[in-house]
């Protein structure tokens, strides 16, 4: 078994015995122990009581984090004519139609978010096997199939985060950077959890939010008390 370095050992020691703590404590713990040489991403993972193999238990949505993600998001837009010009003016990194389809088919995916106007979906639909597994397929439910491409680009660039439950009932996302101050990270955590709570599907039975964890890119994870994250803590 590989020996842990000093930084990893110190982080594990700091996290030892910490479990089911408040959002404030978790944010402080993760932030204070994110000591890599780069600005680590603070990540949230949620274990939900759903089985996404059933259509009525699928959880997906989008949330605009109040303090952004701290990440430079590259946006691709499938559009033609005036809509393509609108996308470019709004700051889209890549804009195209058949030419963009060919680029994606070649395996070059140099973007983090994909937006399309409705008339482009016959073209984009051919890319399902490429974009789908990367969670990049445009979808009207999360606002990435739209005629208002300018607003969609601005939202993507401004800290909007998409989420979709995976096979094991887990959702995870980056909700900020370790360099953010603690209040901003807490606000982002609360906003993300609230969005997932509001996306509870009709087919969900029993406990919906089972566990919530917070971590940084290179650090250990810590579990957050669900009531603390949902704002349901009992008052004194």
Neighbour-count burial of 235, counting CB atoms closer than 10 A to its CB (0-12 exposed, 13-18 middle, 19+ buried): exposed
Tens digits of residue pLDDT in 70-90 = 999 999 999 999 999 999 999
Whether 1 shows a pLDDT value over 80: the answer reads no
Q: What is the DSSP string of 136-200?
A: ----GGGT-B-S-HHHHHHHHHTTEEEEE--TTSEEEEEEEETTS-HHHHHHHHHHHHHHHHHT-
Rounded to an integer, what distance in angstroms lies between the CA atom of residue 171 and that of residue 167?
10
The confidence score (pLDDT) of residue 18 equals 73
pTM above 0.95, yes or no: no
The answer to whether 75 and 82 have CB atoms below 8 angstroms apart is no
Strands (E), 85-148: 94-96, 113-116
Rg (CA), the chain: 19
Mean pLDDT of 203-232: 91
| DSSP designation for 112 | S
């Amino acid at each position: 078994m590989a020996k842990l370095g000093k930084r990893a050992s110190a982080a594990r020691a700091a996290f030892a015995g910490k479990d089911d703590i408040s959002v404030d404590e978790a944010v402080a713990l993760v932030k204070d122990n994110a000591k890599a040489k780069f600005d680590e991403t603070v990540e949230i993972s949620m274990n939900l009581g759903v089985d996404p193999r059933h259509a009525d238990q699928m959880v997906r949505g989008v949330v605009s984090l109040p303090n952004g993600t701290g990440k430079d998001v590259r946006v691709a837009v499938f559009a033609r004519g005036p809509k393509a010009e609108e996308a470019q003016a709004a700051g889209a990194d890549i804009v195209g139609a058949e030419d963009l389809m060919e680029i994606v088919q070649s395996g070059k995916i140099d973007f983090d978010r994909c937006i399309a106007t409705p008339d482009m979906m016959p073209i984009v639909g051919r890319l399902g096997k490429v974009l789908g597994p990367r969670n990049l397929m445009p979808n009207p439910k999360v606002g990435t199939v739209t005629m208002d491409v300018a607003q969609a680009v601005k939202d993507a660039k401004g800290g909007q985060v998409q989420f979709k439950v995976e096979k094991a009932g887990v959702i995870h996302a980056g909700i900020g950077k370790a360099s953010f101050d603690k209040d901003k990270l807490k606000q982002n955590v609360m906003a993300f959890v609230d969005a997932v709570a509001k996306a509870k599907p009709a087919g969900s039975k029993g406990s919906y939010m089972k566990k919530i964890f917070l971590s940084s890119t290179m650090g250990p994870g810590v579990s957050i008390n669900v009531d603390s994250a949902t704002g349901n803590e009992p008052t004194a």
